[in-house]
Amino acid sequence: MTPRVIIDGCSYNYYRVTASLAWYKYSNPEPPTLQNTDFLTSLMSQYHKHINKISKITGVLPNNMTIVRDCPIEKIWRRKHYPKYKQKRLNRSGISNNVGMFIKHINKHLNMYQKVIRIDEAEADDVIAILVRFYLETTDDDIIIIANDSDYTQLLCWDSSRVKIFNPKKMDWVQRDTYSLSSKISKGDSTDEIPSASNIVEILRNKQLVDLTYVPRYIQDRVLQCLDYSNNIPHYYKPLNFQLGLCCMHTVLCAYTPKVFCSRTAIIQTIEKTGISLITSDKALIKRALCITKKESTPIYWISPEFYNTDENMDIYNILKKHQSEMKEHCMSIVLDRARDNCKDLLKLIKHAAEVDGTRVMRMSSDLFPHKSNSRTPDYSLEQFHELLEEAGNLTRRYKMRLTFHPGQYNVVGTPHKDKFHNTCLDLDWHAEVLDIMGCDQDSTMVVHAGGMYGDKNATIHRWAEQFFQLPDRVQRRLVLENCEKCFNIEDCLKVSELIYESNGLGIPVVFDTHHYDCYNIMHPKDIMKPAIEYMSPVLTTWNRRHMKPLFHISEQREGSRTGAHSDLIKKIPDYLFSIKQPFDLMVEAKFKDLAINKLYTIYPDLSPKIINDIKPIKPIKPIKPIKPIKPIKPIKPIKPIKAIKPIKPIKPIKPIKPIKSLKN
């Protein structure tokens, strides 16, 4: 099987130009120019000869190789988060005046190769890493990277038996253990202006909160759009302008026995009852204990005995004191078992949604870990779930799936109450922790509403923007704000984003919910809103500032229900969403979940992620000929009566046999 050869056009072309310049310098003291046709001819001749040598070693013809080029340095996506990135290279006059012009000359004459890929905002190593991962998962081909850059040794850890690196300068294969990336990370890279690990705190202090190790999803989609889809490529790799997202559960999987479900939770009263029932069979005592706890609404920590240390409840106190550890362990085991089952089913849900439905956007349930931040129950660590979460993260990267959260409405960043804000920080933090454990990129967001107005909307907007910076760093990186139908419309959310942008130069992305926008107009007729299409540009700006893929929500009004209730299915996607030119994701918030998405695929076939090749048009069905009327059945002649059977004569009795005479001797 012929391997796939990918050439890092940046490092390789730089090497070939400097090698040719060194050769030219031996016999010509003056540096060559673009008007020197002899040098240009020699440059391209040596370039092709060297490629042919590599061709003999790899066994791949030059016109079957792929060359990947860098985008301009000033447009690299990392510079928007860290402006000093590769600044020295940008300012290096020698490159731009001497080597650079000859590299440009080479780039103009690369038509002989099968494909030259150059992606906006992406470096060559970004693109090559995406291609290598893609080919590993969709083909059985070996992959050979032609590059002088030692950073590519990172890719050998994916599959060192199939991924190989060839150094064109040394004309030798690169071994995995000859390069230590960890030392580069800890000491920094002066050529790329990458800070050392000791300076990361300073970056965070300056609000540079984006993790530069993740390639943005929109870059990945641009790379995939360059590929040839004539082959049988899995449908979950097909990049679309916008993709429909699944919310939390899958109706088909929920119908399984046992059902596949990631939202198992546990009612506190039920857990308490099972815990007390474990240590006593006295129903009256159990009922009294539960009633007191429910009435007081105090932190229970699985019913602390001290809570019942009174004269009238001394019997409850004594029995709980004796069996506290046993009951506490039992109650916690219920919660942890359900969390573990949720994580196991999350793996099944991701796999089914990606492979069967082609889903590439999915919202995870906030009930994934029951009572994780409930102040009335003991906290527990997510460390015991790391293996399952990491496996889920690996699946999402394999399927190029974007995961999101929508934490509950009790998360209010703009609250004036310190205790509620503290609880908000705790709840949002474990959501962010889950996404970090899974290794999700910056497009895996946590969507929240602005919350209540607390009597003064404008003051709450400013307080929201101020308290945003008091959230944990990993929450700030992933939090996005959604408009609602009751309090904060889309203009209010954009104000919050703008206030945060003025403080840190990044802002907070805003999710436009089509249904909430419509409902707000109905519920607040005096607030005159602009047409929805006029909000598309400012909303997209909030995402583009952070270099994250935009996310929108869609749903429709349920007939006969309160304003804002979601319908079972969605009949139409608003026209203004089709006017958006950049890729984005559309979360479908309908009661029928995956069935609603499939219904939209029938209405909008171009949105379907599934790739079906060589589909023959269905021939029209011929009309069925009318059936001839059935002739009436002739009446059956009556059956003649059967003659009576004559009686059988009685059988005469058999005469007795005479005895046999005895034989004579």
pLDDT (tens digit per residue) in 331-362:
888 899 999 999 999 999 999 999 888 899 99
Q: Looking at per-residue confidence, does 148 or 508 come out higher?
A: 508
Task: Find where tokens 């019997």 sit.
Answer: 315
Query: Residues in the chain, how many?
Result: 665
The residues near 628 (Cβ < 8 Å, ≥ 6 apart) are none
Share of the chain above pLDDT 70, in %: 80
Q: Work out the pLDDT band at 83, boundaries 50, 70, 90.
A: confident
**Domain residue spans in the chain?**
4-235, 406-632
Q: Name the band, by pLDDT with cuts 50, 70 and 90, for residue 323.
A: confident
Asked if the domains 4-235 and 406-632 are classified in one and the same CATH topology, the answer is: no
> What confidence score (pLDDT) does residue 199 get?
45
The burial of 87, by beta-carbon neighbours within 10 Å (0-12 exposed, 13-18 middle, 19 or more buried), is given as: middle
Q: How many CA atoms lie within 13 A of 430 on its CB side?
A: 25
Q: Note the pLDDT of residue 27.
A: 80
Provide the strand spans (E) within 329-478: 361-364, 402-405, 446-449
| Token code pair at residue 11 | 């490092």
pTM above 0.85, yes or no: no
What mean pLDDT is predicted for residues 611-615?
A: 36
Which ranges of 280-417 would DSSP assign to H, the alpha helix?
283-296, 314-355, 386-398
Q: Name the strand (E) or helix (H) holding 5.
A: strand 4-8
Average pLDDT over residues 390-409: 91
Rounded average pLDDT over 146-166: 82
Nearest to 460 by CA among 498, 501, 492: 492
* Helix (H) or strand (E) run with residue 247 in it: strand 242-247
Residue 383, SS3? helix
pLDDT, tens digit (0-9, with 9 covering 90-100), for 20-65: 888 888 888 788 888 888 888 888 888 888 988 998 899 888 878 8
Q: Using an 8 Å Cβ cutoff, are 305 and 314 in contact?
A: no
The CA angle 396-139-617, to the nearest 5 degrees, is 90
3-state SS record for 570-626: CCCCCHHHHCCCCCEEEEECCCCCHHHHHHHHHHCHHHCCCCCCCCCCCCCCCCCCC
Using DSSP's 3-state secondary structure scheme, residue 189 falls into: strand
pLDDT in tens, 243-297: 999 999 999 999 988 899 999 988 877 777 777 776 777 777 777 776 665 555 5
pLDDT band at 543 (very low <50, low <70, confident <90, very high): very high
d(CA 638, CA 422): 96
Average pLDDT of the segment spanning 435-451: 92
What is the arrangement of strands in the sheet containing 115-118, beginning at the earlier edge strand?
Answer: 115-118, 66-69, 4-8, 143-146, 163-167, 172-173
- Rg of the chain on CA atoms, in Å: 36
Spatial distance between the Cα atoms of 277 and 558, rounded to a whole number of angstroms: 43
Q: Which tokens go with 111?
A: 């038509």
C-alpha neighbours within 13 Å on the C-beta side of residue 551: 34
- At 446, give phi and psi (nearest 5°): -120, 115
pLDDT of 28: 82
Distance CA 485, CA 497 (A): 18
pLDDT in tens, 163-204: 999 999 989 988 765 555 544 444 445 555 555 444 444 444
Task: Tell me the CATH class for 4-235.
Answer: alpha beta
Burial string for 497-507 (b: 16+ CB within 10 Å, else e) reads bbbbbeeeebb
Q: 235, 300, 247: which is closest to 269 by C-alpha?
A: 300
User: Cα separation of 265 and 360, whole Å?
Assistant: 26
Q: What is the mean pLDDT of the chain?
A: 81
* H or E stretch at 452: none
User: Which letter, b or e, does each residue of 160-197 get, where b requires 16 or more Cβ atoms within 10 Å of its Cβ?
Assistant: eebbbbbbbeeeeebeeeebeeeeeeeeeeeebbbbee
Q: How confident is the model at residue 207 (pLDDT cuts 50, 70, 90)?
A: very low
- Could you tell me which residue, 402 or 637, shows the higher pLDDT? 402
**What is d(CA 301, CA 331) in angstroms, rounded to the nearest whole number?**
10
Is residue 652 very low, low, confident or very high in pLDDT (cuts 50, 70, 90)? confident
Tokens of 364: 């995870």
Q: Compute φ and ψ for 358, nearest 5 degrees.
A: 75, 20
H and E: helices and strands count for the chain = 22, 14
Q: Which 3 state secondary structure label does DSSP give 106?
A: helix
Start-to-end C-alpha separation, the chain: 105
* Helices 268-279 and 314-355, axial angle in degrees (round to 10): 130
For 41-84, give the DSSP string: HHHHHHHHHHHHHHHHHHT--GGG-EEEEPPPGGG-GGGGTSTT
Q: What are phi and psi of 557, to 5 degrees?
A: -70, 135
Burial 215-247 (b: 16+ CB within 10 A, else e): bbbbbbbbbbebbeeeeebbbbbbbbebbbbbb
Rounded CA gap, 328 and 660, in Å? 101
Residue 255 identity (one-letter amino acid): A
Q: Which DSSP symbol is given to 557?
A: B
Question: Rounded to an integer, what distance in angstroms lies between the CA atom of residue 282 and that of residue 288?
Answer: 10
- Looking at residue 134, its pLDDT comes to 83
CATH class of the 406-632 domain in this structure: alpha beta
pLDDT of residue 599: 94
Q: Where are the alpha helices (DSSP H) in 64-188?
A: 87-91, 93-94, 100-107, 124-138, 181-187
Task: Give the number of other CB atoms < 10 A from CB of residue 637.
Answer: 6
